[in-house]
Structure 1
Amino acid sequence: MVTDQTETLRRVPLSRDRVLRAAVALADGTGIESLSMRNLAQELGVVPMALYKHVANKEELLDGMVDVVVGEIGPPVLGTDWKSAVRQRILSARQALLGHPWASRVIESRTTPTPVMLAYLDSLIGMFRTGGLSADLTHHVMHAMGSRVLGFTQEMFDDSPSDDPSQSVDPDAQAAMFREMATKYPYVTEMAMAAAHEDESIVGQGCDDQFEFEFALDLLLDGFERLQQQGWTSADRSRGDGGA
């Protein structure tokens, strides 16, 4: 049976799209660290040199894999206000990236955006512009959003509970550690304790990544809307009034 499947794979014509989607599936299954041209070729049932007809090198392969993920982002929602449309598009991007845990790291490693990435960014910027934000304000909006426009952000603290039994901490030892930390770093400790939500909390034990992402996204969008309504420009900085 395995031999028959391998032979079937060999008979399917190799294409750039097939190579990229196989690479994405391989990274999803075994991790981006294990991805190589050699094991990708083995997965496709071809010799490694056959891949180079479709991707010039590993960097081009990674660019193409990012394009596949970005291509999974849903299209813009029409007939709604700019803030709702932007929110929906960014949450769609987040959903796409959540399906590929390696994607955010690869996106951060890219030095030049591909046409697919540029088209997505152009679409998002267009939502702000057609929504009435000036080019000046939109420029600063994109800086403020950063990687959030692609559905991910770097967290300062990872307070999610560990599933690894070897990482479990004795409750008495943990309490002692918190007491010592509270003496040296009272506000960090206070925040860490607050993040360990009550059992009946909607968020539950540890922080809910999706909730935190949407919380920050909504704060940003509300702030952008306020600046738009105030007619803010970057020239306001020189006046020291912050647009107020």
Structure 2
Amino acid sequence: MTSGRRAANRGYGRLDRATIVAVGLGIARGEGLAAVTMRAIAEELGNAPMALYRHVADRQALVAGMLDAVMAEIVPPEPSDDPREEIIGLCSAVYRALRRDGWAVLVQVVDGVASPVTLPLLERLYAALRAAGLSDADCHRAVAALRHYTYGVLLGTHRDRVDGFAGRLVRHADPDRYPALASATRAADPHRVEGTFELGLEILVSGLLAQLGPTRN
């Protein structure tokens, strides 16, 4: 497989950090993060592995650069004077960008890797929450809730399988013991997931603004 990749990707030109990151990202998207090694990238570029270390310190730095590249693909919405619309638009932009890269979700959630590319988006998100009347402390709580929701859905999107064990467990639950579960499962289309994130996000944002905003009881 490596030789096939290498043959298909000859002609990258001069070896530099941007090229190394781009090749690593391509491997991650095609074969998963575990397949991203300095040796694999070097073979694809037709170089010795040690040549890469002149441009990338180590694999950790490579993954950080790959994450920066993914997060740079986020297309933020046009700024809105409506805080609710601004919050939903920003979270949706992150969700759309990361749906393609399950590995990027995992390294952020599991390994705690972060990208400075997201700081302008976070600034807008905090500003929107403050414009909605939340205190600084409650802005931080709200951002945590929004992040947990967005990344939780992304993890499920990349990990859940209709034909997996969890799906079969629910579908084949005894209807006599679990009538509500069985009824809802029969009515659901397991292949239709589009719109689920947006619906949940709208509910979450409405609840956060109602609970933490200036009109709360």
Identify whether the pair has TM-score above 0.5, normalized to the shorter chain: yes
- TM-score with structure 2 length normalisation? 0.78
What does the per-residue CA deviation read over 1:187-214, in whole Å, with 9 as the maximum and x for residues that have no partner? Answer: xx6335413435xxxxxx2164332222
Between the aligned residues of both structures, percent identity stands at 26
Q: Which amino acid aligns with 1:194?
A: A
Q: Is the 8 A contact 1:141 1:224 kept in 2?
A: yes
Q: What is the rounded CA distance, in whole Å, between the counterparts of 1:5 and 1:219 in structure 2? A: 46
- More moved, 46-55 vs 113-122: 113-122
What does the per-residue CA deviation read over 1:10-55, in whole Å, with 9 as the maximum and x for residues that have no partner? Answer: xx12222221121111111112222211111112222111221222
Give the corresponding residue for 1:72.
73
Q: What is the rounded CA distance, in whole Å, between the counterparts of 1:93 and 1:135 in structure 2? A: 22
Q: Which amino acid aligns with 2:18?
A: D
Which stretches in structure 2 are left out of the alignment for 5+ residues?
none
Q: Which amino acid aligns with 2:207?
A: G
Q: What is the rounded CA distance, in whole Å, between the counterparts of 2:127 and 2:54 in structure 1? A: 36
Mapping for residues 199-218 of structure 1, pairs under 5 Å: 205-206=189-190, 208-218=192-202
User: 1:140 and 2:141 equivalent?
Assistant: yes
Moved over 6 A (4+): 2-6
Give the corresponding residue for 2:14.
13
Q: What is the rounded CA distance, in whole Å, between the counterparts of 1:182 and 1:43 in structure 2? A: 57
What does the per-residue CA deviation read over 1:34-84, in whole Å, with 9 as the maximum and x for residues that have no partner? Answer: 221111111222211122122211111111111111111113412441211
Q: Which amino acid aligns with 2:105?
A: S
Q: Give the number of the structure with larger relative contact order, counting CA–CA contacts within 8 Å between residues 6 or more apart.
A: 2
3-state SS of the aligned residue for 1:218? helix
Rg larger for? 1
Q: Is the 8 A contact 1:90 1:148 kept in 2?
A: no
What does the per-residue CA deviation read over 1:96-115, in whole Å, with 9 as the maximum and x for residues that have no partner? Answer: 11122322112223335332
Give the corresponding residue for 1:239.
none
What does the per-residue CA deviation read over 1:121-144, in whole Å, with 9 as the maximum and x for residues that have no partner? Answer: 233223322444321221110122
- TM-score with structure 1 length normalisation? 0.71
Give the corresponding residue for 2:184.
194
